[in-house]
């Protein structure tokens, strides 16, 4: 194939190479397994540059899975609870996943039911903004749950 996109037909390698050199371009092998191999006359440096730009542009538009974490304690005050729920609402409306964790400190370990009650209250209040992805689970001194926003689910 010539630089302008027209077919040159079946040529010897040296003839095709001579054609490329006359036009000041490179002879690039496109399909080496074909019989005969398919080559194209092009500016290979320009081709690599454009491929690099395309990859960079594609990376620019990729967003990783954002997971936000909101931490509670079993004795979280009502105003603090409302503030944290507002944060959860914002994160979930943006389509992010939210990890809700509650850590027990010291004597709080004796009343794990209070922690589960609080986490279940959070999940119930946040269910209108998305869905529960992971139910509450105890891991050491911490209860973890995962929520997914509506945009993250779709």
Look at residue 152 in the predicted model and tell me its pLDDT. Answer: 53
Same domain, 50 and 73: no
What confidence tier does 61 reach under pLDDT thresholds 50, 70, 90? confident
Is the confidence at residue 151, as pLDDT, over 80?
no
My answer on whether 140 and 82 are in the same domain is yes
The confidence band for 147, taking pLDDT boundaries of 50, 70 and 90, is very high
| Same domain, yes or no: 81 and 141 | yes
pTM above 0.95, yes or no: no
User: Residue 26's domain is classified under what CATH number?
Assistant: 3.10.20.80
Are 147 and 100 in contact, with CB atoms under 8 Å apart? yes
Q: Are residues 47 and 74 in the same domain?
A: no
Q: Which domain holds residue 77?
A: 67-153
pLDDT (tens digit per residue) in 83-114: 999 999 999 988 889 999 999 998 888 888 99
Let me know the angle formed at the C-alpha of 69 by 107 and 59, rounded to the nearest 5 degrees. Answer: 160
């Amino acid at each position: 194939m010539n630089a302008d996109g027209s077919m040159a037909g079946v040529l010897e390698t040296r003839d095709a190479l001579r054609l490329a050199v006359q036009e000041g371009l490179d002879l690039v092998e496109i399909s080496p397994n074909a019989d005969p191999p398919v080559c194209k006359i092009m500016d290979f440096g320009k081709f690599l540059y454009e491929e690099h730009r395309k990859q960079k542009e594609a990376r620019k538009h990729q967003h990783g899975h954002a997971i936000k974490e909101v931490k509670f304690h079993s004795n979280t005050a009502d105003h603090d609870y409302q503030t944290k729920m507002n944060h959860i609402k914002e994160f979930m409306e943006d389509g992010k996943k939210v990890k809700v964790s509650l850590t027990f400190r010291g004597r709080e370990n004796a009343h794990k039911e209070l922690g589960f009650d609080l986490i279940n209250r959070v999940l119930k209040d946040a269910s209108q903004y998305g869905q529960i992805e992971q139910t509450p689970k105890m891991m050491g001194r911490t209860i973890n749950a995962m929520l997914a926003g509506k945009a993250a689910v779709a």
